[in-house]
Amino acid sequence: MKNGIYVVATPIGNLGDISARAKEVLAAAEIIACEDTRVTKKLFSLLGLPQSKTFIRLEDHNEDAQTERLLELAATRIVAQVSDAGSPLISDPGYKLVNRARKAGIAVFTVPGPCALICALQLSGLPTNSFMFAGFIPNKDKARSDLFNKLKSIDTTLVFYETANRIIKTLTAAAPVFGERQMAVAREITKVYEECVNGTAAELLAHFNAQEPKGEMVLMVAPPVQNPAAEIDLERVLKEELKDNSVKTAVKNVVELYGLNKNEVYNLALRLKNE
């Protein structure tokens, strides 16, 4: 095996998902760059891998300092880089290490495997021909809604990492921005309670209000509907709006939300009101 940096994916829940090549590289590596040495040592123990290695912590806050040390080592040794779980560099440390290694002419190899965002897309049933991974959703209200508003018109499936204790707030903020767009939450992927729930933000909110959200989660939003009139149930949406609003307000809300022709929506609203 050549010297250099090996970016090694590890399981996100099911130990059986470690690849044969990942085990081979982890067994051969002299240096293991990891986020939390306790987590990685436990993984080595569960996989029956030798622990007589140098484990070096590489975290967001010390990435700069540790990167220099790891680069020196990788010039003459096999260095494996892992995260606590899943694919390194994806909302996890390692980008700077790889960036500097490439500039310094140090070999970089990928040992692919589980990645939560890819697994979530595979479970979701949402379009996968094009997607945008937007990382973790900010926890501050304004930053969260600014992000959603910035991304809402992009014609692609949106993918975010999220945690159980924030999902209610996130879906509440997502509902007015994404409206009737289909969404999905995949949680506990590859674990015993793996689940993928599909629906609009309002439907997902209802689900997680009824069933306490638990575990690690990936939130996805389907692309905006290209021909909204053909895809949405306009009568149903308008009837809902007319329950609490005047014809004028209901029409305005629906036109803004779906970018429809105002006259057509107005005529339909009048008809429904008179029925």
Per CB under 6 A, residues contacting ligand SAM are 12-13, 83, 85-87, 90-92, 115-117, 161-163, 186-191, 216-218
DSSP state of 105: T
Q: Which is nearer to ligand SAM, 216 or 241 (CB)?
A: 216
Residue 2 gets the label, from left (phi > 0), alpha (psi -120 to 50) or beta, of: beta
Whole-number minimum distance, CB 262 to ligand SAM, in Å?
40
Whole-number minimum distance, CB 98 to ligand SAM, in Å?
14
Whole-number minimum distance, CB 40 to ligand SAM, in Å?
14
**Residues near 34 by beta carbon (within 8 Å), at least 6 away in sequence:** 40, 55, 56, 57, 58, 81, 82, 83, 84
Q: Which is nearer to ligand SAM, 87 or 198 (CB)?
A: 87
Q: Which is nearer to ligand SAM, 90 or 247 (CB)?
A: 90
For residues 51, 28, 72 and 65, what is the CA-based torsion angle, rounded to 10 degrees?
-40
Amino acid identity, position 155: D
Q: Which is nearer to ligand SAM, 59 or 141 (CB)?
A: 59
Residue 4: count other Cβ atoms within 10 Å of its Cβ: 16
Beta strand 216-221 pairing with 195-199: unpaired
For residues 200, 203, 207 and 213, what is the CA-based torsion angle, rounded to 10 degrees?
40
Whole-number minimum distance, CB 173 to ligand SAM, in Å?
17
Whole-number minimum distance, CB 163 to ligand SAM, in Å?
5
In the complex, which residue's CB is closest to ligand SAM?
86
Q: Which is nearer to ligand SAM, 201 or 219 (CB)?
A: 219
Whole-number minimum distance, CB 59 to ligand SAM, in Å?
11
Q: Which is nearer to ligand SAM, 83 or 253 (CB)?
A: 83
Helices (H) and strands (E) in the chain, counts: 12, 10
Q: Which helix (H) or strand (E) element contains residue 170?
A: helix 167-178
DSSP bridge pairs for 255: none
Whole-number minimum distance, CB 145 to ligand SAM, in Å?
20
83's tokens: 């995260």
Question: Among all chains, which residue has been given the structure tokens 């939130």?
Answer: 219
Beta strand 216-221 pairing with 157-163: antiparallel
Q: Which is nearer to ligand SAM, 164 or 272 (CB)?
A: 164
